Amino acid sequence: MKYVVDTNVAIVANGRPEIGGNQPPSLECRLASVDFLLEALKNGKIYLDLEGAIAQEYNTYLNPMGAPGVGDQFYKEVMNSHPDRIIRVELQKRSDGEYLDCPQILIDSGFDPSDRKFAAVAVHASATVANSVDSDWIHHAAQLQTSGISVTNLCGCDPTHWFD
């Protein structure tokens, strides 16, 4: 299976409250994120942009030494660029700075600019986006579906169940 992994999946797998303010992710959500990352690294292909925008975001929130959490271990594997697991694709940008592969319907609907790189890679690679607790992937589900972008919401589609 081909995946584009939103940074929030690795953060949730680490069990840190960076996303939910002071709230840690729920145990169910964290376990779903951990299980996904382990399975994706074992049997899937992880897609990133060649320019490094996704890796740069990972670097902001994750420890490249691979510890102490599963999300950090995921980042270490990404940084090691295992050719059998990590695939980097070149994304073109338009003159306005938007990714050519990011569907216009997402841009027009106000889809989070920081998530557009994930959407563009998903379109370019025909990959599924993995999300744990980013509500943008839920609020824009209709536009994503229209654009042919598949999203796996690991923690479900009800934000009230995402955090303790």
Give all domains of the chain, ordered by start, each with its CATH number.
2-158 (3.40.50.1010)
**What does the pLDDT read at residue 3?**
98
115-146 tens-digit pLDDT: 999 999 999 999 999 999 999 999 999 999 99
**Using one digit for the tens of pLDDT, what is the confidence trace for 69-126?**
999 999 998 888 777 899 999 999 999 999 999 999 999 999 999 999 999 999 999 9
Question: What is the value of pTM for the model shown?
Answer: 0.94
Give dist(CA 72, CA 125) in Å, integer: 24
Rounded Cα–Cα distance for residues 54 and 139 (Å): 21
Kindly state the helix (H) or strand (E) to which residue 104 belongs, with its residue range: helix 104-108
DSSP class of residue 132 equals S
Tens digits of residue pLDDT in 5-64: 999 999 999 987 666 567 788 999 999 999 999 999 999 999 999 999 999 999 999 998
CA distance 38 to 56: 21
**d(Cα 60, Cα 37) in Å, to the nearest integer?**
18
